[in-house]
C-alpha cells in the first residue's frame, strides 16, 4: 500500500513521513516519570505536531506543527525546543499559506531535516528539504538536495545519529508515487550533503507498507514487509548493501495460525550485535533476527496480548541495549504501553499509562544517554517526557 505525502506526514510521524503520533500520560509506576508530571513541550501556536525528533547528543529537539486557519490556508511552523524544560527556543520558520512542514528526523552530526510541502491547488507540487545544521543553531542553514523526483515520497529516514562513535550515514527509504511505484533506498551523509546510489527493491512485497532500519556496522538498510493478508505468508527481510547496491532477502518468522502476522509494523536494529527486531500485526508478536545467520525467534507481547494489542513503532537504545516497543492498546495496564526488551528477547519492564493515537503509528523518540524519551500528548499539540 502506498501513501501520498499528506498521509505519511500525519501517520509517520517516522517519521518516520509524508500522511504520518493522544492523551495525557499518568504516573503508573513510581520509578517511571511520565509527561504529566515532568517536562511538557507545547507547540508554539497550538497546532498539531507533524513529526519531531530529539538530539541524542545534545539538549534540543525539533518539531513541525500545522493548523487550519481558513480560506484554504494553514499556519505551519518549525520550532526547536529544550529537552529539559520543554520550552520552545525558537520559531525557525512560520508560514500562513497552503504549504506544510514535516520533521523527518535528526541525522549525521545533529542535523535536523524538515520537509516543506509546497502546495498548488490541492496538490503537493514540490518538496523542499530544509536543514538545521546543527539543530542548536535554531535556524535553517541550507537545503538537502536529495536526488528525488517531484513525485518521490520519503517513507523512512533511519534513526541513527552519528556523534558519539556512530556513523554519519543515514538510510532513506522512498517510493515513486506514480509510474512504476518502485520502492527504493539510498544512503546519505547530511553533513556533507552526499548521496549513495538508489537501489530499487524489485520484490513486490516491499511495495506494501515496508519498514526500515539501518545497520551502521555493515552499511546495510534492513527492510521488512509482509502482505498483510490474514493467514498470508511470512514477512520478507531485505538486507540492502548501500555501498555495493546488492539486495539479499530471507524469509522471516511465520506467526501462529489462523491469523499469522499481517503487516510488519515496526523495526529497529542493534548494529553492534547484528540483531533486528520487528513487530507484526494480528499475532501480537515481537521478532528477533540474527542478521548474519538469517535466523530468528518470536516472543508474544506480555499479558496474553491479542490482535488488537499488537506492537507498532520500535526504537533501539544502543547504550543500554534495549528495544522499546510501542503498544497502542496495552496488554499490561491502562491506555497504551511501551514494552522494553533486552536483545535476547527478555521482557525488562512495562511502561504503562500512555495513550498513543493509532494515526501516528505510536511514534516516540528516545535519548539513550538520558534513558528518556518524548511521546505525543494531549490533542497531538504537545510532547510529554518519559523515562525508562
206 is written with which cell numbers?
A: 516491499
Q: What is the pLDDT of residue 203?
A: 96
Q: What is the pLDDT of residue 258?
A: 78
Residue 329 DSSP label: S
Q: What is the pLDDT of residue 9?
A: 35
Q: What is the pLDDT of residue 14?
A: 34
Q: What is the pLDDT of residue 127?
A: 96
In order of their start, the domains of the chain are: 5-387 (2.130.10.10)
Other CB atoms within 10 Å distance of the CB of residue 53: 27
> pTM for this structure?
0.90
CA dist 85 and 41 (Å) reads: 8
Q: What is the pLDDT of residue 378?
A: 73
Alpha helices in the chain (DSSP H): 5-11
Longest dimension (CA), the chain: 57
Q: What is the pLDDT of residue 302?
A: 96
CA dist 170 and 157 (Å) reads: 7
36 is written with which cell numbers?
A: 504529566
Sort strands 285-290 and 123-132 into parallel, antiparallel or unpaired.
unpaired
Nearest to 101 by CA among 132, 74, 120: 74
Q: What is the pLDDT along the chain (388 residues), one digit of tens a residue?
A: 333 333 333 333 333 333 332 232 333 333 445 544 578 999 999 999 999 999 999 999 999 999 999 999 999 999 999 999 999 999 999 999 999 999 999 999 999 999 999 999 988 999 999 999 999 999 999 999 999 998 999 999 998 997 555 679 999 999 998 878 899 999 999 999 999 999 999 999 999 999 999 999 999 999 999 998 888 899 999 999 999 999 999 999 998 887 777 899 999 999 999 999 999 998 999 999 999 999 999 999 999 788 899 999 999 999 999 999 999 999 999 999 999 999 999 999 999 989 887 777 789 999 999 999 999 987 799 999 999 9
Q: What is the pLDDT of residue 305?
A: 81
30 is written with which cell numbers?
A: 513510581
Q: What is the pLDDT of residue 163?
A: 57
Amino acid at each position: 500500500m502506498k501513501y501520498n505525502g499528506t498521509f505519511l506526514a500525519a501517520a509517520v510521524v517516522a517519521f518516520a513521513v509524508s500522511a504520518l503520533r493522544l492523551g495525557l500520560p499518568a504516573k503508573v509506576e513510581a520509578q517511571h516519570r511520565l509527561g504529566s508530571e515532568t517536562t511538557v513541550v507545547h507547540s508554539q501556536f497550538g497546532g498539531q505536531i507533524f513529526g519531531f525528533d530529539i538530539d541524542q547528543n545534545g539538549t534540543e529537539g525539533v518539531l513541525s506543527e500545522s493548523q487550519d486557519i481558513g480560506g484554504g490556508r494553514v499556519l505551519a511552523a518549525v520550532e526547536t525546543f529544550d529537552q529539559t524544560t520543554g520550552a520552545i527556543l525558537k520559531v525557525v520558520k512560520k508560514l500562513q499559506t497552503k504549504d506544510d512542514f514535516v520533521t523527518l528526523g535528526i541525522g549525521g552530526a545533529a542535523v535536523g531535516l524538515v520537509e516543506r510541502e509546497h502546495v498548488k491547488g490541492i496538490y503537493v507540487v514540490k518538496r523542499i528539504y530544509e536543514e538545521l545544521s546543527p539543530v542548536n543553531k535554531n535556524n535553517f542553514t541550507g537545503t538537502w538536495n536529495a536526488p528525488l523526483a517531484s513525485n518521490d515520497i520519503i517513507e523512512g529516514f533511519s534513526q541513527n545519529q552519528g556523534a558519539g562513535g556512530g556513523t554519519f550515514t543515514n538510510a532513506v527509504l522512498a517510493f515513486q508515487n506514480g509510474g512504476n511505484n518502485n520502492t527504493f533506498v539510498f544512503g546519505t551523509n547530511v553533513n556533507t550533503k552526499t548521496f549513495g546510489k538508489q537501489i530499487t527493491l524489485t520484490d513486490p512485497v516491499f511495495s506494501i507498507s515496508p519498514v526500515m532500519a539501518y545497520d551502521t556496522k555493515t552499511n546495510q538498510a534492513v527492510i521488512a514487509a509482509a502482505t498483510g493478508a490474514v493467514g498470508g505468508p511470512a514477512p520478507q527481510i531485505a538486507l540492502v548493501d548501500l555501498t555495493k547496491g546488492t539486495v539479499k532477502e530471507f524469509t522471516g518468522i511465520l506467526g501462529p495460525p489462523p491469523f499469522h502476522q499481517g503487516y510488519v509494523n515496526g523495526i529497529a536494529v542493534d548494529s553492534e550485535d547484528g540483531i533486528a527486531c520487528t513487530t507484526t500485526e494480528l499475532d501480537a508478536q515481537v521478532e528477533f533476527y540474527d542478521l548474519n545467520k538469517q535466523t530468528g525467534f518470536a516472543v508474544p507481547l506480555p499479558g496474553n496480548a491479542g490482535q488488537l494489542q499488537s506492537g507498532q513503532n520500535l526504537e533501539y537504545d544502543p547504550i543500554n541495549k534495549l528495544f522499546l516497543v510501542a503498544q497502542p492498546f496495552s496488554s499490561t495496564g491502562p491506555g497504551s504501553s511501551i514494552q522494553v526488551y533486552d536483545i535476547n528477547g527478555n521482557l525488562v519492564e512495562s511502561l504503562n499509562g500512555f495513550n498513543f493515537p493509532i494515526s501516528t503509528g505510536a511514534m516516540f523518540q528516545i535519548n539513550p544517554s538520558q534513558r528518556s524519551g518524548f511521546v505525543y500528548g494531549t490533542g497531538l499539540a504537545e510532547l510529554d517526557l518519559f523515562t525508562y
